[in-house]
Amino acid sequence: MKLRKILIAGAGIGGLTLGIALRRLGFEVEIYEKASNLLTIGWGIAVAPNGLLALRHIDLDQPVLQAASTICQVQMKTSAGKKLKEISLGALEARVGGSVVTLNRGELYKIFLEAFGESGLYISNAASGFREEKEQVILTLNNGKEVEGDLLVGADGIRSTIRQQLFPNAELHYSGYTAWRGLSEETNLLSEGIYLSILGRGIRFGCTSLGNKSISWYATYLTSPGQEEVDSPQTLLMKRYQDWCFPVSEIIASTPNSSMKQSDIYDANPLALWSSQRVTLLGDAAHPMTPNMNQGAGQTIEDAIILASLLHKSSTLQEALNLYEYHRIPRTSQIVKQSRKSGKIEHLQNPILWSLRNAIYAWTPVEILLKQLVIVSKFNSALLADSQISN
């Protein structure tokens, strides 16, 4: 199949990964992004083993590993400091061939931007809509300009303009909790390689090291959406977490307000279709999910690598899009549902259910938890067979 030009709306993780993969396969690519500076995006991000394994096919797994910190152990505790579970991730790496890593989101973008290059990337150009014709699709930008191509991929995030036009009845679903994210430079508060998850009643805190540069953390709790506009996030969070075990208060106290960001957490019920004749979706635009499974980046990268491969080896565009949906919708839909369920469990308020949850976490064999991680952490490289993108 020959496509003259592919348009991508959104230069996030998915859009850039797809653009890099498509260029490796000889496609002409143009990416249109609403932000004016991608490198200012901070805070930590986790890339699961499946994401790294997918990146291996475009030779970006090693640059990511070099910039990241590898998570070697997951520790779960109650807010009072009682240990619930410790899971060594060495066994996970042995079974799937990859690690869980964390790094600054800006560092990740730097790697992707260097690989894609400046040519064909148009920042400060938000997508405002599209129209499909028999032989082409026309993307309309917020400045009124129109650009045409053979395929448009909506990789424009959780509030995707492209998804809204394709599926106007698709709605976002509020999880019931909001999230604060932050970066602390007091790296002595947490050992490198540890992912610490601390659970309260309707409230949670998690943190991990990004190497010798910072500690990335999140704080989530049940609340109505749009409620957390405050002058001093540090004061708010110190009050909410004042009686929690080490190092929660210490990490919050060491984080300036300028290094904290709040966002309400949304996902969406899985779609049965992602595509029309010349338009499809990718990443958060296709399958918005809560961050509880740490699979947002991994599934987005999988989308991009598999879509690029299918566009290269399929006989027609419709065949490629049909196969893309066939392979990706069941997997991502299951993870969306699992992540939503996990978020509900980890934000239980009822004291009886809260105690029962803690007991289950404490008594569940590590092997069972590892098996669940292995399922979501595998990348099916067989889908890339007969494609030049496959190493």
Question: Tens digits of per-residue pLDDT, 165-224?
Answer: 999 999 999 999 999 999 999 999 999 999 999 999 999 999 999 977 899 999 999 999
Whether 213 is in a domain gets the answer no
Nearest to 285 by CA among 163, 153, 131: 163
Whether 136 is in a domain gets the answer yes
With contact defined as beta carbons under 8 Å apart, do 244 and 205 qualify? Answer: yes
Q: Residue 205: exposed, middle, or buried by beta-carbon count in 10 A (0-12, 13-18, 19+)?
A: buried
Whether 33 is in a domain gets the answer yes
Q: What mean pLDDT is predicted for residues 336-355?
A: 97
Nearest to 264 by CA among 338, 172, 146: 172
With contact defined as beta carbons under 8 Å apart, do 196 and 268 qualify? Answer: no
- Based on the structure, what is the number of domains in the chain? 1
pLDDT tens digits for range 40-64:
657 899 999 999 999 999 999 999 9
Whether 229 is in a domain gets the answer no
Read off the tokens for 51.
Answer: 């994401």
Whether 45 is in a domain gets the answer yes
Whether 283 is in a domain gets the answer yes
* Beta bridge partners of residue 181, listed in sequence order: 218, 261
What whole-number distance in Å separates Cα of residue 321 and Cα of residue 7?
A: 15
Whether 367 is in a domain gets the answer yes
Give 382's pLDDT tier (boundaries 50, 70, 90).
confident
Whether 274 is in a domain gets the answer yes
Please give the pLDDT value at position 102.
96
Burial 287-315 (b: 16+ CB within 10 A, else e): bbbbbbbbbbbbbbbbbbbbbbbbbbbbe
With contact defined as beta carbons under 8 Å apart, do 370 and 92 qualify? Answer: yes
Q: Residue 81: exposed, middle, or buried by beta-carbon count in 10 A (0-12, 13-18, 19+)?
A: exposed
Please give the pLDDT value at position 389.
72
Read off the tokens for 146.
Answer: 């129109």
Q: What is the CATH number of the domain that holds 86?
A: 3.50.50.60
Q: What percent of the chain has a predicted confidence (pLDDT) above 90?
A: 91
Three-point CA angle 228, 286, 378, nearest 5°:
100
Q: What domain range includes position 289?
A: 6-172+267-384
pTM for the model stands at 0.96
